[in-house]
């Protein structure tokens, strides 16, 4: 049975959400999968609508691919859809979608589900307004947003007249009644390279530069008179007046403004002298926070908090932007690991009966996946991980389930996210993997994640760590042709980018399982990579890392230097160079006696200890009030001799710290010493023999 026979993409996940174009799209609303974290945020916004609130200006912060836009799409749908306005067929569909949404949300939090019902039963709608970040002139962006919202919700009769409308009406009046003035106008705008048609189109789109041109040429047409439309040009006041009209004449209780991609606005304005835009945002935030029964809400979507954008700019600008930030409440959209895994599972829909047959046919293979997943211990916090991870997220390798949300949080952009990887039919995606399956039992492995997100790793010039890992990976891949070796390099890259070595370390076990390789396949490829000096294995913890020394064979040269120069290394002296053990303060004693005494920490061997006759010699040698001696011993004789010696000295100021076992890492110390010598001596690295 081929995968495509029982695995289907969840259509709701196939494309990223565009608030402007997807507003009240019933398919997109129905595809929403609530999580504990998203419902908490939904609850917060619903309460600010249902109850009186002074926190109606917010910044919704979360990384790409987290689902911020989908969350707000659902919120706006719940507060703005009036099912009665649809025709009979679509009304039933809309009612069913709203009902399903409330049920799904209630399964997460019953109180939030009840709150949604209360908000909708009030029969008071909230007008959603989407502000597009593509306009650098905020007046224009907010005017277009308001006009589009009123038009979409059949409130065109409430679109306010602006000075742009006055310009348009003046041109129309010249055209109909004052042909000489119209001809003069047409000649004047030719000087600016504009036609009447283009100029009128720009004015209808509230283009500030076109308005400036009109004011300049108007005196030439009207015998020196200045253009003065006597209309309110304060965009914030215009919104407030329009909101009052909506609430007074229609079934509305206010408006909910969403500034989409506010990150782009911040990036474009923070370093520029944009005091006018700054004031507009600040004034809108204040009006929203002070709005009462006629509600105004303002939510700005960003990928980072305000403070992360305020870098490398003068202090006076930081102060001004901090004042703006103070008007907003930050709402952080973070997800638990379990929530992320549930999202992944929900994106991979299956025909249950066919999948059950597939599991029975491949029972041994699934048992092996369970065993390997258990060995990794990545999902120990989940009680039912065999179902949630291995079955519901199939055909993803468990390490891919772990890695995907973490990679998406670090680098995802609109065109490449967790959701597009799972549901979009494109090169490197899960759907492409499913469609290419020929019936063989196989998992999508960690190297696929690298291939899909590689272009984003390459573009991460602001996150130098991720870009550096990509650069090393790219160089390593260029040196090898073996397919499995390339997979290992890609898996190592993903593990390094995630950088959670305590739980997801770059070890033989993790890398091999993440790629679904047999022990024989893995051993052959990893040995090949080590021999070519492309990767290095850390002897102390078994972690792999990329080699930084091109074709230089570091292991061979370490052995050569150990044999030639380090046969009789003084381990104690070398440890002293590496570690500064410092001092220990007897705090209780110092407090009680109101004085300062200190104990020195020091390494010591039996050869040194046996030469001291008493405590006086030891304290004089170390020049301290007391000494903690960290003992390095090789055998039982040295251990017992030291204990007997300290007992004979019998001084509370002399402490002997004894490890549980004898010193067995002399070879590692020699390795480290040899590596230090190589680092200092470039001639060794540049030698042709290497």
More confident residue, 18 or 275: 18
Residue 34 has phi, psi (to 5 degrees) of -70, 145
Burial 294-330 (b: 16+ CB within 10 A, else e): bbbbbbbbbbeebeebbeeeeeebeebbeeebebbbe
Residue 432 has pLDDT above 80, yes or no: yes
Same domain, 404 and 295: no
> Is pLDDT of 64 > 90?
no
What is the structure's pLDDT at 136? Answer: 62
* Domain boundary pick from 526, 546, 566: 546
Both 533 and 602 in a single domain? no
* 357 within a domain of the structure (yes/no): yes
Residue 445 in any domain: the answer is: yes
492 pLDDT higher than 80: yes
pLDDT in the model for residue 549: 57
Question: Considering the chain, what is the average pLDDT of its residues?
Answer: 87
pLDDT on residue 294: 95
367 within some domain: yes
Same domain, 470 and 577: no
**pLDDT at residue 610 is higher than 70:** yes
Lowest mean pLDDT among 41-45, 288-292, 680-684: 680-684
Higher pLDDT, 32 or 77: 77
Residues 511 and 578 both lie in one domain: no
pLDDT of residue 688: 43
Identify whether 227 is part of a domain.
no
Name which residue leads in pLDDT, 433 or 16.
433
- Our CA dihedral for 379, 380, 381, 385, rounded to 10 degrees, sits at 60
Domain with 204, as residue range(s), is 163-221
Q: Is residue 104 part of a domain?
A: yes
Q: Tell me the pLDDT tens digit for each residue of 155-180.
A: 988 878 787 888 898 999 899 988 99
Of 498, 525, 546, which residue constitutes the final position of a domain?
A: 546
Residue 314 maps to a domain: yes
What pLDDT score does 361 carry? 95
For residue 415, what pLDDT is reported?
66
pTM beyond cutoff 0.75 = no
Cβ neighbours, 10 Å, residue 7: 22
- Please tell me whether residues 573 and 624 are part of one structural domain: yes
Assess whether pLDDT exceeds 70 at residue 444: yes
Do 391 and 496 fall within a single domain? yes
Q: CA geometry: angle at 412 spanning 406 and 417, to 5°?
A: 90
- At residue 579 the predicted structure's pLDDT band, cuts being 50, 70 and 90, is confident
Query: What pLDDT shows up at residue 394?
Result: 96
Q: What is the pLDDT of residues 16-46, one digit of tens each?
A: 788 989 999 998 899 888 888 899 999 999 9
On the question of pLDDT at 679 being above 80, the answer is no
Question: Is residue 303 within 8 Å of 67, Cβ to Cβ?
Answer: no
Claim to verify: residue 129 and residue 88 sit in the same structural domain: yes
Residues 269 and 344 in one domain: no
* Domain count within the chain: 4
Quickly state the pLDDT bin for 552 (edges 50, 70, 90): low
* 435 vs 264, more confident: 435
pLDDT > 70 fraction of the chain, expressed in percent and rounded: 93
Report if residue 13 sits inside a domain.
no
Query: For residue 322, is pLDDT > 80?
Result: yes
Does 493 score more than 90 pLDDT?
Answer: yes
Q: Both 562 and 644 in a single domain?
A: yes
Residue range 148-155: average pLDDT? Answer: 92
Task: Name the domain boundary from 332, 363, 381.
Answer: 332
Whether 5 maps to a domain, the answer reads: no
CATH number of residue 137's parent domain: 3.40.50.300
Indicate if 31 and 106 belong to the same structural domain: yes
d(CA 499, CA 409): 13
- In the block, residue with structure tokens 């709150």: 115
Q: Are residues 571 and 627 in the same domain?
A: yes
Is the domain of 503 the same as that of 440? yes
pLDDT of residue 67: 83
pLDDT band at 314 (very low <50, low <70, confident <90, very high): confident
- Taking residues 666-679, report their average pLDDT: 76
């Amino acid at each position: 049975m081929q995968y495509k026979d029982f695995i289907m993409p969840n259509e709701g996940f196939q494309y990223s959400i565009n608030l402007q174009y997807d507003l009240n799209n019933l398919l997109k609303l129905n595809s929403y999968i609530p999580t504990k974290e998203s419902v908490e945020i939904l609850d917060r916004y619903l309460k600010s609508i249902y109850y009186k609130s002074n926190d109606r200006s917010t910044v919704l912060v979360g990384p790409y691919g987290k689902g911020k836009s989908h969350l707000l799409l659902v919120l706006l749908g719940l507060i703005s859809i009036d099912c009665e306005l649809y025709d009979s067929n679509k009304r039933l569909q809309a009612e069913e979608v709203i009902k399903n949404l409330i049920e799904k949300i209630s399964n997460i939090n019953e109180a939030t589900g009840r709150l949604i019902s209360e908000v909708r039963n009030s029969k008071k709608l909230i007008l959603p307004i989407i502000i597009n970040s593509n306009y650098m002139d905020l007046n224009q962006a907010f005017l277009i947003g308001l006009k589009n919202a009123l038009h979409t919700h059949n409130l065109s009769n409430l679109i306010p007249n602006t000075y742009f409308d006055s310009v348009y009406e003046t041109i129309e009046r010249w055209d109909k009644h004052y042909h000489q003035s119209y001809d003069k106008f047409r000649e004047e705008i030719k000087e600016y390279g504009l036609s009447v048609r283009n100029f009128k189109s720009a004015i209808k789109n509230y283009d500030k530069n076109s308005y400036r041109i009109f004011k300049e040429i108007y005196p030439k047409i009207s015998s020196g008179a200045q253009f003065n439309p006597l209309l309110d040009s304060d965009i914030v006041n215009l919104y407030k007046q329009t909101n009052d009209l909506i609430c007074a004449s229609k079934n509305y209780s206010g408006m909910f403004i969403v500034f989409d991609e506010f990150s782009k606005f911040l990036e474009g304005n923070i370093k520029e002298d944009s005091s006018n835009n700054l004031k507009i945002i600040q004034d809108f935030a204040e009006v929203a926070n002070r709005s009462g029964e006629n509600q105004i809400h303002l939510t700005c979507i960003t990928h980072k908090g305000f403070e992360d954008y305020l870098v490398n700019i003068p202090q006076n600008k930081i102060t001004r932007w901090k004042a703006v930030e103070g008007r907003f409440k930050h709402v952080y959209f973070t997800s638990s690991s379990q929530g992320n895994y549930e999202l992944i599972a929900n994106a991979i829909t299956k025909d249950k009966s066919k999948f059950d047959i597939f599991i029975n046919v491949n029972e041994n293979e699934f048992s092996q996946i369970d065993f390997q997943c258990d060995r990794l211990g990545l999902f120990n916090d989940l009680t039912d991980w065999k179902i949630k991870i291995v079955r519901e997220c199939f055909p993803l390798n468990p390490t891919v389930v772990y890695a995907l949300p973490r990679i998406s949080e670090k680098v995802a952009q609109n065109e490449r996210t967790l959701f597009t990887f799972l549901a979009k039919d494109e090169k490197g995606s899960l759907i492409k993997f499913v469609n290419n399956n020929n019936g063989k039992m196989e998992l999508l492995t960690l190297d696929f994640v690298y291939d899909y997100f590689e272009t984003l790793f390459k573009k991460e010039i602001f996150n130098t760590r991720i870009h550096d890992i990509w650069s090393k990976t790219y160089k390593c891949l260029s040196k090898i042709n073996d397919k499995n070796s390339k997979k290992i390099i890609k898996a190592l890259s993903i593990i390094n980018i995630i950088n959670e070595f305590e739980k997801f370390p770059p070890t033989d076990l993790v890398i091999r399982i993440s790629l679904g390789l047999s022990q024989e396949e893995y051993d052959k490829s990893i040995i090949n990579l080590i021999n070519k000096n492309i990767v290095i294995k850390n002897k102390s913890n078994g972690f792999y890392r990329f080699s930084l020394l091109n074709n230089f064979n570091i292991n061979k040269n370490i052995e050569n230097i150990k044999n030639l120069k380090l046969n009789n290394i003084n381990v104690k002296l070398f440890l002293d160079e590496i570690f500064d053990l410092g001092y220990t303060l007897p705090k209780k004693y110092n407090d009680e006696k109101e004085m300062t005494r200190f104990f020195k920490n020091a390494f010591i061997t039996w050869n040194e200890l046996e030469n001291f006759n008493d405590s006086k010699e030891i304290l004089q040698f170390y020049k301290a009030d007391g000494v903690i001696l960290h003992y390095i011993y090789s055998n039982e004789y040295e251990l017992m001799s030291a204990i007997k010696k300290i007992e004979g000295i019998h001084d509370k100021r002399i402490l002997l710290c004894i490890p549980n076992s004898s010193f067995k890492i002399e070879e590692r110390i020699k390795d480290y010493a040899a590596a230090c010598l190589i680092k200092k001596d470039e001639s060794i690295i540049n030698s042709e023999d290497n």
